[in-house]
Amino acid sequence: MTELTLVTGAGGFIGGHLVKDLLAKGHPVRAVDIKPESEWHQVWGDAENRLADLREPDGCAQSVAGVGSVYNLASDMGGMGFIESHKAACMLSVLINTNLLRAAEAADVGRFFFGSSACVYAEEHQTSPDVTPLREEDAYPAMPEDGYGWEKLFSERMCRHFTEDFGLATRVARYHNVYGPHGTFDGGREKAPAAICRKVAEAEVYERPEIEIWGDGKQTRSFTYIDDCVFGTQAIMDSDLAEPVNLGSTTLVTIDELVTIVEEIAGITLERRYRTDAPTGVRGRNSDNTKLKQALGWEPDTSLRDGLAVTYGWVRDQVLAQRAVALS
């Protein structure tokens, strides 16, 4: 019988998609989140769905009981506006990984995956829009994003030392700006692609031909479609990659270019208003996938336009549904 797999943060964006894919491949899944199921982005009836506070040791011990592998995607996080104003909340997520690692080691779990972030990289490597792609070794000397980045980097080290001291096989992926449907698109925790899709959809639906952009629009990022993230996550888990590895697209675009792509998908052109006082994070960030390609013979390859077309269609449907409720 195929071993039971635990996915934490299963009510979140990446977690919900990962549970779906694991179930489709015939893996029995225990899906755990702190939120009530009514707030999960996706709920799959074929999974063993549980509520648990993984900041607490008991919640972790109960969640790992009887499982063969763990995908830890649970954390308190959001887009740049959220993580810059909730540093303590983001850092408290270290309790999740600490207690989950302890529980996994005690339960003799076979493998443990930790979803890290490109926010572990020092700002000094990300000061220009024409940024040099970030290599894994660029995380040290350490000076990550304050709050959220420090928690992720510390938790990476915890994984490493649990492997060295206790023999728990750990795998770590540094996610670079994952986007797609069935995620947060409003409320303050949304990331740039979802926020832009929402703003363009609202402009289309409510016939308001303008859009507010955080920053000057010249900051650069690469964006990773959720299907590539889910595939890469499982491939890294099954690989021999014992050190943290980047999981991201290498297609670098400005925020202005991102807006243009979504406008073209929607078939509209908007007047742009720039909020240069808004949180924008680093000036440029891109992924170096050399190690990923060497290990897997693969890297994320979904085109940004294709991924955004799906994402925009989903977000637009949510905006239309909200409008229908408001009018009812």
Question: For residues 259 and 281, which has the higher predicted lDDT (pLDDT)?
Answer: 259
Question: If we measure between CA atoms, which residue out of 280, 222, 284, 232 comes closest to residue 252?
Answer: 222
Q: What is the pLDDT of residue 127?
A: 84
Rounded average pLDDT over 13-28:
98
Q: Evaluate the omega torsion of the peptide bond into residue 141 and state whether it is cis, within 30 degrees of 0.
A: yes
Rounded average pLDDT over 56-78:
94
Q: What is the pLDDT of residue 90?
A: 84
Question: If we measure between CA atoms, which residue out of 253, 269, 271, 270 comes closest to residue 308?
Answer: 253
The answer to whether the CB of 213 falls within 8 A of the CB of 275 is yes
Q: What is the pLDDT of residue 181?
A: 98
Beta bridge partners of 273: 212
The tens digit of pLDDT for each residue in 145-170 reads 899 999 999 999 999 999 999 999 99
The CB-side HSE value for 84 (13 A sphere, CA atoms) comes to: 10
Active-site residues: which are they?
Answer: 148
Question: If we measure between CA atoms, which residue out of 253, 272, 255, 263 comes closest to residue 217?
Answer: 255
Q: What is the pLDDT of residue 1?
A: 52
Question: If we measure between CA atoms, which residue out of 284, 156, 310 comes closest to residue 228?
Answer: 310
Q: Return mean pLDDT, the chain.
A: 95
Note the pTM of the prediction, 2 decimals: 0.95
Q: Where are the alpha helices (DSSP H) in the chain?
A: 13-24, 57-64, 80-85, 87-91, 94-106, 148-166, 192-205, 226-237, 255-266, 290-296, 304-327
Rounded Cα distance between 179 and 182, Å, is 9
The answer to whether the CB of 27 falls within 8 A of the CB of 1 is no
Beta bridge partners of 232: none
The tens digit of pLDDT for each residue in 301-318 reads 999 999 999 999 999 999
Domains located in the chain, CATH noted? 5-178+224-247 (3.40.50.720), 181-221+251-327 (3.90.25.10)
The one-letter amino acid code at 113 reads F
The tens digit of pLDDT for each residue in 171-227 reads 999 999 999 999 999 988 888 999 999 999 999 999 999 999 999 999 999 999 999
